[in-house]
Amino acid sequence: MLVLQLHVIFLQLADRYLMNSKLLTRAKAKEQVIAWQSSGKKVVFSNGCFDILHAGHVQYLSRARQLGDILLIGLNSDASIQRIKGPLRPVCAEQDRAAVLSALQMVDAITLFDEDTPEALIEALLPDILVKGADWDIERIAGAKAVLQSGGKVLTLPILEGRSTTGIIEKVIQIYGKHTPRGKE
Ligand SMILES: Nc1ncnc2c1ncn2[C@@H]1O[C@H](COP(=O)(O)OP(=O)(O)OP(=O)(O)O)[C@@H](O)[C@H]1O
Ligand SMILES: O=P(O)(O)O[C@@H]1O[C@H]([C@H](O)CO)[C@@H](O)[C@H](O)[C@@H]1O
């Protein structure tokens, strides 16, 4: 019985590690960026909340990855999102948001940041390319100045119209605001 219990604990720990095997500390992310750039790889960086993932995110991340050799994502922590998007957000906790992004083939690495903006993170990492969706004007993109000054590029990618996490939340409220979700009667 003890062996079985130990086996279950091992599997649970393995799952947790494998779910977030791409999640790096800031120090490790910096180390990795230096290693990638030293071997001639172009590091693309983007950041976001990636709360409830949708087709716009997937298209965006796929295109971002095609801009270089590595795609590193700066992911807002739960505390960061609560401050910038309101106390009821995020819907999905940071470990889950990181696990979902980790499962995407085009995402190579993820690092959480707790600040309101990724400016300090980007200044520390100095990626070759900083990219955001076109819902952000270049002038408003945090970290742009540091990346440009280091000889990097700052780009925006087209938005897949009609897709947003907020939109999904609003649609769910519209649907279930009137009805109890199936199976919850
Ligand atoms: N529909 C979309 N098409 C392409 N890129 C998108 C789309 N929506 C968001 N992005 C990009 O994905 C990244 C993460 O954005 P974010 O997580 O804020 O998505 P969101 O759907 O706008 O969320 P919210 O509705 O909570 O603001 C950002 O760089 C953003 O520009
Ligand atoms: O998911 P979002 O809302 O697109 O991500 C935000 O992007 C902000 C942007 O980089 C500002 O230039 C950033 O400040 C904020 O922390 C979120 O990552």
The complex scores an ipTM of: 0.98
The model carries a pTM of 0.91
Residue 59 falls inside a structural domain: yes
Residue 106 falls inside a structural domain: yes
Residue 184 falls inside a structural domain: no
Please state, in angstroms and rounded to a whole number, the distance separating the CA atoms of residues 173 and 96.
Answer: 22
Centre of ligand 2 from the C-alpha of residue 117, in Å: 6
Number of domains observed in the structure of the chain: 1
Residue 10 falls inside a structural domain: no
Task: Tell me which residue range forms the domain holding 55.
Answer: 22-176
Residue 72: strand, helix, or coil = strand
Q: What angle do CA 154, 36, 142 make, to 5 degrees?
A: 25
Count the Cβ atoms, other than its own, within 10 Å of residue 184.
7
**Ligand of minimum distance to the alpha carbon of 135:** 1
Closest-lying ligand 1 atom to the alpha carbon of residue 166: 25
Centre of ligand 2 from the C-alpha of residue 126, in Å: 17
Residue 71 falls inside a structural domain: yes
Q: Which residues of 71-88 are buried (b: 16+ CB within 10 A; e: fewer)?
A: bbbbbbbbebbeeeeeee
Per-residue pLDDT of the chain (185 residues; tens, 9 = 90+): 899 999 888 887 776 666 668 999 999 999 999 999 999 999 999 999 999 999 999 999 999 999 999 999 999 999 999 999 999 999 999 999 999 999 999 999 999 999 999 999 999 999 999 999 999 998 899 999 999 999 999 999 999 999 999 999 999 999 988 656 565 55
Query: What's the CATH number where 48 sits?
Result: 3.40.50.620
Closest-lying ligand 1 atom to the alpha carbon of residue 54: 21
Residue 4 falls inside a structural domain: no
